[in-house]
A and B are shown apart, each in its own frame.
Chain A
């Protein structure tokens, strides 16, 4: 409080409290009305009578069986959704870490330029980018040709319309979500700690394993979450690069909603959300950092 404001402390606190709420109110209401309330409606919809339709309306029958039915019927896509996302996240970590490391420690005055280069490709439309992968992985394309020569793909085999293509697309599209948090935490590391490890006769590899890597864990956790969560729900890559045997949970949710099978679609969405929340909280607990939230 400055000298010229003549208010009693209590009145001042009251006023600040009011200001805070006035500032928060519009945005808070928006998020409540269009994020929180819809989530409750989603849960409600997932318990509607499955025999209803858009024309006749739905009755709330507390049909918990919607969940069992949906999970039974779509076990494959559910498992694939999480499996593909996990593999893609791991691949993002493996190729994203050296990139983030090089930008943080090796780029010198090229640091800003390299950071721009990391995000620049993602300025192009997500869908246009993914369609470009369709061309790269196409049956008579260069990549398939090389893979055949190396014996990685059978002579009559293909990459497009397989799980490999879907995972490749996911890995590509979510890479910046891995690199940027990794870079942010690597950049904060005090170089003297790494030098100290060297002075104490640690080899560069030991220094990395016991100093740099542990200190970059917040970035690893943030990056894996930011990559994993959106890729489990993604259906663009599976639709454009995969085929009917590679559908992910997102594809099923999307197509169920499209045909108007709202209770099943809602039950699957809630299942996806709950599984993600469980996985993420177990992961964060095991990784031992909660400062993220």
Chain B
């Protein structure tokens, strides 16, 4: 009886853990395959253990240059989208003006559109504008800033909405000028929101394939490289990159979580 009770109490938890295990299954495969020595170039099965892939991640031609391209585009797209998006978030939260709901719709729509449609329509625009031959780094960057922008606005806006605006008023009551109140009170409070928006933008840009695929011309980003490799033979080094991405991202998340906890304890 007691056992039955315990099982029903923990059944949901058990299912949840099973689902989590399922989400980690491919990660295990990716990590495993990063140590794989395939029997032949065409075989995508685990054959023998090796450290060669990790020692020589740039081995396959074009892999590392595609990574560099992805990082360049990611950084520039992050800077652009974070800058434009933060300004928009401030306008939407702090100002009352006509056309607000229109602005909100404009920001919401890109997040609700399928990526193929966004990629296809941008390509249609570039081709119609006679820019078909100029597709490459800059057109990818334009597209990435476009689709990252909405996510930045939403993230920063959430942080701003959660902020007590009386803090700013208090600062001004204590003779801070408007700009002092902004830089000494508002900005430090909103900054974590801007930072997480920037991280999100980088992650979205770095991992985007669908929109990039339409507007890349001859430029090869990392996802484009993997796509190309998947049509021929898949170098094991892409799993090295996949594992490294996972480790770096998890480290960032845990670090920020630890910092947050420490800050809360100080308070």
Contacts and interface: CB of A to CB of B under 8 A. Distances in A.
A126 B209 contact: yes
A172 B116 contact: no
Contacts of A276: 114
Given A20-B97, A42-B121, A234-B210, A123 B203 contact: yes
Contact of A273 (B117, B132, B242, B249): B117
Contacts of A34: 122, 125, 142-143, 145-146
A240 B227 CA distance: 9
Contacts of B248: 123
A31 B121 CA distance: 13
B39 interface: no
Contacts of A45: 124, 127-128
B266 interface: no
Interface string B179-217: 000000000000000000000000100010110011000
Contacts of B254: 116
A217 B101 CA distance: 24
A45, A106, A127, A175 — most chain B CB neighbours (10 Å) = A127
Contacts of A54: 127, 132
Contacts of A128: 30, 226, 238-239, 241-242
Contacts of B17: 102
Nearest to B128: A41
Contacts of A103: 16
A31 B106 contact: yes
Contact of A125 (B107, B109, B223, B253): B223
B120 A124 contact: no
Contact of A120 (B45, B132, B146, B249): B249
Contacts of B29: 132, 135-136
A252 B177 CA distance: 58
Contact of A172 (B23, B97, B145, B239): B23
B148 to A, nearest CB: 11
A121 B16 CA distance: 15
Interface residues of A, number: 84
B124 A41 contact: yes
SS class, residues of chain B in contact with chain A: helix
A84 B15 CA distance: 24
Interface stretch (A64-72, A148-156, A189-197, A261-269): A261-269
B97 A16 contact: yes
A112 B261 CA distance: 11
A2 B172 contact: yes
Contacts of A131: 44, 226, 230, 234, 238
21 contacts: A16-B95, A17-B98, A23-B88, A23-B95, A31-B149, A34-B142, A39-B117, A39-B121, A45-B124, A54-B132, A95-B22, A118-B23, A121-B26, A123-B245, A125-B238, A127-B223, A129-B26, A136-B25, A266-B120, A269-B116, A272-B117
Can you list the 10 inter-chain pairs with the closest CB atoms, starting with the nearest?
Answer: A233-B114, A102-B16, A123-B249, A23-B91, A20-B95, A38-B121, A128-B242, A132-B26, A42-B121, A27-B84
Given A31-B107, A132-B33, A138-B44, 19 more contacts: A21-B97, A26-B83, A27-B153, A32-B106, A34-B142, A42-B120, A42-B125, A44-B128, A54-B132, A117-B24, A120-B253, A121-B26, A123-B250, A126-B209, A127-B223, A128-B238, A131-B238, A133-B26, A172-B26
